[in-house]
Amino acid sequence: MSVLSIIEFPDSRLRIKASPVTRFDSELDQLVHNMYQTMYSAQGVGLAATQVNVPQQVLVIDMSENRSEALTLVNARIAQREGTQVYKEGCLSFPGMYAQVTRALKVKVEACDTRGKSFVYQAEGPLAVAIQHEMDHLEGKVFIDYLSPLKRAMLLKRMEKQRKASA
Ligand code: GNR
Ligand code: NI
């Protein structure tokens, strides 16, 4: 069991496209376990394997207040999207940065559990945001990619300022 270190922007490893998981073994269990530990310890609501330097299609989410509603998706695919919503997003790979992002309101996802058993999962609202945010990470995409050039520039400037202040 361990808390893994989280890759921060602009590290190029955040741009790697994750590969599908092919072996549903104890190594996968270990990874998922460590991802939950890392996410809870960083007080995040989700984490993609890409963020801990494992380019495999694994994501974990827990949006609940008391950290009791774990959702693990392996090899997830969005089968259906419906509507739109705007939500103020943050990201553990962009500490202290937030921005409004437009995404689908509802998603229907096909995924596997850690045993390799496939299932369908439907979500809407904030949970659907988190699923889409994590699935983007697995494709090498991050939330600032959705911002206008001006808003992105402002956010990056703010990040740079913060980085200098803490250096
Ligand atoms: O902890 C997180 N909070 C969050 C808030 C709004 C929308 C998305 C997220 S995901 C983020 C954790 C993270 O970076 N996952 O990749
Ligand atoms: Ni993120």
pLDDT (0 to 100) of residue 167: 79
| Ligand 1 atom with the shortest distance to the CA of 101 | 7
Ligand nearest to the CA of 130: 1
pLDDT means over runs of 10, the chain (167 residues) = 96 98 98 98 98 98 94 98 98 97 98 98 98 98 98 97 90
pLDDT (0 to 100) of residue 85: 98
d(CA 70, CA 59): 11
Q: Which of 65, 69, 89, 134 is catalytic?
A: 134
Is 0.95 surpassed by the pTM of this model? yes
Q: Which residues pair with 122 in a beta bridge?
A: 108
pLDDT (0 to 100) of residue 62: 98
pLDDT (0 to 100) of residue 139: 98
Write b or e for each residue in 24-41: b if 16 or more Cβ atoms lie within 10 A of its Cβ, otherwise e: beeebeebbebbbbbbee
134 a catalytic residue:
yes
Instruction: Please indicate whether residue 48, judged by its CB atom, sits closer than 6 Å to ligand 1.
Output: yes
DSSP per residue over 90-159, as a string?
E-TTSTT-EEEEEE-SEEEEEEE-TTS-EEEEEEETHHHHHHHHHHHHHTT--GGGGS-HHHHHHHHHHH
Any idea which residue has 């937030």 for tokens? 98
- Is the Cβ–Cβ distance between 112 and 74 less than 8 Å? yes
Give me ligand 1 centre to Cα 142, in Å: 10
